Amino acid sequence: MSQDNTHATIHSKKTALGIEFGSTRIKAVLIDENHTPIASGSHNWENRLEDGVWTYHLDDVFKGLQDCYQSLAEEVKEKYGILLEEVGAIGFSGMMHGYMAFDRNGSLLAPFRTWRNTMTSKATKELTALFNFNIPHRWSIAHLYQSILDNEEHVKEIDFITTLAGYVHWQLTGEKAIGIDDASGMFPIDSKINNFDAGMIAQFDEKIAPLSYSWKLGDVLPRVMTAGEQAGVLTAKGARLIDPTGTLKPGILLCPPEGDAGTGMVATNAVAPRTGNISAGTSIFSMIVLEKALSKVYSEIDMVTTPEGHPVAMVHCNNCTSEVNAWANLFREFADSAGIPISNDDLYGLLFRKALEGDADCDDVLCCGYLAGEPITNLEEGRPLLVRQPHSRLTLSNFMRSQLFSTVATLRIGMDILFQSEKVHLDKLIAHGGLFRTPEVGQRVLAASMGVPVSVMETAGEGGAWGIAILAAYMMNRSKDETLNDYLSAHVFKDMPCVEITPSPEDLEGFNAYMKRYRQMLLVEGAAVTSLR
């Protein structure tokens, strides 16, 4: 788009602004009517460990928001010579889960507990049994119930609980609303009505009735909204909270605030049933949009939703590329010692491409990249391993192929529940993250592990801020009865460059053989955890 066209887009308020509160960075993206980013801003922040709780202070939230927005506004002024006074629509997203509880005066009753806190073991066990629905440690309801079990004084004063994105939206609009994907990390969702599960709310109220609190659960949860709905307007107070200079005007429409899982689905065009996305970096997780609810409860699978309310099965693994990075650093040290310095891109490209030359099954060279514990395989700690048979050919190609296979092997264990036990079928799987930086290699490995075609888009790196900006644009621009999937397909991703790789029979056979050995090797990993202290 030309400079003149961008000027016209900004002046005519055809833009949408998305801001996402990530774990280490707050990012803002301004998009034009073609959903193309035209400006961005960011602010780095870190959670704090205080009295055993991972938290952010509320002052940090708005100082970070203001700094992030100011950097975006400055870029607009620098690139286009325009003071950013208005945009067409705004959306906020953030880290899902966690616990923010407020009294009737809007005061925070306990330190904000982020998704990283896992002091809720007793609560998760009791609630999973009560609901017959897997309740992970990080969910808001787990934190609320654990507070009840621990007899925390603040519980009797609760008037409202929400997530980080829901809190920001409330402060900017006065609306106690939340997008359905973010809501699905607070309490189970009934996708038939796109709302919190009323039966489970009744079960919870009955369980805590003897404590005689003045509130009922349904009264303190936020209002659940779906993509495309209007979730309020920016108030004068809200405009000042974003932009203390007073340049940003109130009255701008906001879409429902969402969680980072939902914005990731949007950013990869994976919101329709039989689609999914996989994010692979330090950790790896899949988000698979289901045609129907799962038949039973699985501790390995979290149930969330798309921004429209379709049920989504999430498989999350704590370990992915950290061990690959450790070995890459070893090879870099060797190269430096040999007087042959090599760049990161060249090093990883060389190592990854060597993996394509290895034996299909790695000739029984096995790796376990567990630096941390892994709940899916019931290991509380990790011990990175390299194991092989005496006959195995320990070549660089077999070693690297095994390392890359190990990055997705645990995810395959969780996905097997969906593919084999639940007969889930996929038409499309989108991949994004550092594992796919080297073209083709990581994509081929993932395709072989999942047994389905895997696509990588050029825009996958734009992230959740772009995803929530798209949701704001969808609210602003969609035609009547146009679904989010239809909107994304027709207006956002229609001509988006995309590379798809279908697994070859040889790669499929090789990975399946590797997985058989990998499952056996986990017994060795368990022994290493027990023995090597």
For residue 469, the surrounding DSSP H or E stretch is: helix 463-477
User: pLDDT per residue over 192-222, tens digit each?
Assistant: 999 999 999 999 999 999 999 999 999 999 9
Residue 523 reports pLDDT greater than 80: yes
Q: What pLDDT was estimated at residue 146?
A: 97
90 and 59 within one domain: yes
Higher-confidence position of 237 and 49: 237
The stretch 306-327 carries a mean pLDDT of 92
527 within a domain of the structure (yes/no): yes
Q: What pLDDT was estimated at residue 66?
A: 98
173 and 79 within one domain: yes
Q: Of 154-158, 230-234, 278-282, which gets the smallest average pLDDT?
A: 278-282
112 and 243 within one domain: no
352 and 423 within one domain: no
For 122, 139, 213, 219, the CA distances from 153, given in Å and listed in that order, are: 19, 20, 11, 19
CA-nearest of 452, 425, 455 to 439 is 455
472 within a domain of the structure (yes/no): no
What would the two tokens of residue 323 be? 């061990």
The tally of domains found in the chain comes to 4
264 within a domain of the structure (yes/no): no
201 and 82 within one domain: no
293, burial (CB in 10 Å: exposed 0-12, middle 13-18, buried 19+): middle
Q: What pLDDT was estimated at residue 18?
A: 97
What are the backbone dihedrals phi and psi of residue 289, each rounded to the nearest 5 degrees, phi first?
-80, 120
373 and 281 within one domain: no
Residue pointed to by tokens 């709780």: 53
Q: What pLDDT was estimated at residue 37?
A: 92
- What is the share, in percent, of the chain residues with pLDDT greater than 90? 79
Q: What pLDDT was estimated at residue 363?
A: 97
308 and 450 within one domain: yes
486 and 420 within one domain: yes
Domain that holds residue 90: 1-94+168-177+226-256
314 and 431 within one domain: yes
Q: What pLDDT was estimated at residue 9?
A: 86
The stretch 326-330 carries a mean pLDDT of 96
User: pLDDT per residue over 429-477, tens digit each?
Assistant: 998 878 888 999 999 999 999 999 999 987 655 678 999 999 999 999 9
263 within a domain of the structure (yes/no): no
473 within a domain of the structure (yes/no): no
Most confident range, picked from 1-5, 50-54, 461-465: 50-54
Domain containing 196 — which CATH number? 3.30.420.40
372 and 521 within one domain: yes
Long-range contacts of 149-158 (CB under 8 A, 24+ apart): 149/122, 149/123, 152/110, 154/101, 154/109, 154/110, 155/101, 155/213, 156/213, 156/214, 157/103, 157/104, 157/109, 158/101, 158/102, 158/103, 158/109, 158/213, 158/215, 158/220
469 within a domain of the structure (yes/no): no
Residue 116 reports pLDDT greater than 90: no
Q: What pLDDT was estimated at residue 316?
A: 86
423 and 284 within one domain: yes
| CA–CA distance, 175 with 167 (Å, rounded to integer) | 9
Indicate the pTM of the whole model: 0.85
User: pLDDT per residue over 57-81, tens digit each?
Assistant: 999 999 999 999 999 999 999 999 9
191 and 106 within one domain: yes
For 115, 306, 468, 469, the CA distances from 267, given in Å and listed in that order, are: 22, 12, 8, 10
78 within a domain of the structure (yes/no): yes
Start-end of H helices in 295-438: 322-337, 344-355, 396-416
What are the backbone dihedrals phi and psi of residue 308, each rounded to the nearest 5 degrees, phi first?
-100, -5
515 within a domain of the structure (yes/no): yes
